[in-house]
Amino acid sequence: SDDHPEWERTHKAVQRMLGQFRDATRHSDYALNRRWPRDSADPTVEDRLMVNMLLPTLSPQREAARAALADAWRAPDGKVNADKMIDTFNTVLRSAEHLTRGSTMIESLVGLSLRQLTDTQARWALEHEIFDEKQLAKALDTLRRFNPEPEDPVRYIRGEHAAALDTTQYLFGAPGPGGEVYVDPGRAEYISNMVGHEDISKDDFVGLGPEDARTAVDAFDGYFRELTEQMRMGYPDVRAADIEATYERY
């Protein structure tokens, strides 16, 4: 636009990035890099706890998806390129598919949001009659192919379940000479400080032993399995208050 030359400059500047984003989504073995705290040059076992794992940086993928969809609406000759629009749907939905394979709930949620964003853009394209009959069939096929039936919700919480069990194992340390496990006070203090419970003293954990370890594992298993069933039932049969009550009970 003559009125906004910066728009054209921005468009040209992001084309290489959008091409890389498109290419990345075509890889079947794509995986996000896991990050760990940087406060130690020589990481100890504490640094490698799952609960201490830093969440992946998802904002670049989210912004790349938005930029790709916005770019697909460009119409320098007054007509949106329908084939480019469909290809962009393919790219963003493939990115969403990558995210929903992740081990954390946030990855799955961002993946779901990208699918919803694509569906919204597809409805706008339909309303503005972007597609002819043949292109419409292709667009619908793309949306169906990359919007499968909802997966088992256990995929969304498996990382949280694993982190809880990993933390339990860490707290109770390695078996002693007699084969029994007890809470390590130093590790208990480390976990308490890390999750923001400075008011809990390591002395509060002294004496917790094998039976407590089994109780903790059973409680975590029970909670996450019940949470999975609640998520399978979904709203309105299960509401936020129901999930909160399950959490409090365990």
- More confidently predicted of 212 and 53: 212
Residue 53 DSSP label: P
Has residue 42 got a pLDDT over 60?
no
- More confidently predicted of 119 and 178: 119
Question: How does residue 218 score in pLDDT terms, banded at 50, 70 and 90?
Answer: very high
CA distances from 221 to 71, 154, 214, 217 (A): 46, 12, 11, 6
Question: How does residue 64 score in pLDDT terms, banded at 50, 70 and 90?
Answer: very high
pTM above 0.75, yes or no: no
The pLDDT of 173-181, averaged and rounded, is 76
Question: Residue 75 carries which side chain, given as an amino acid letter?
Answer: A
pLDDT of residue 138: 96
- More confidently predicted of 94 and 175: 94
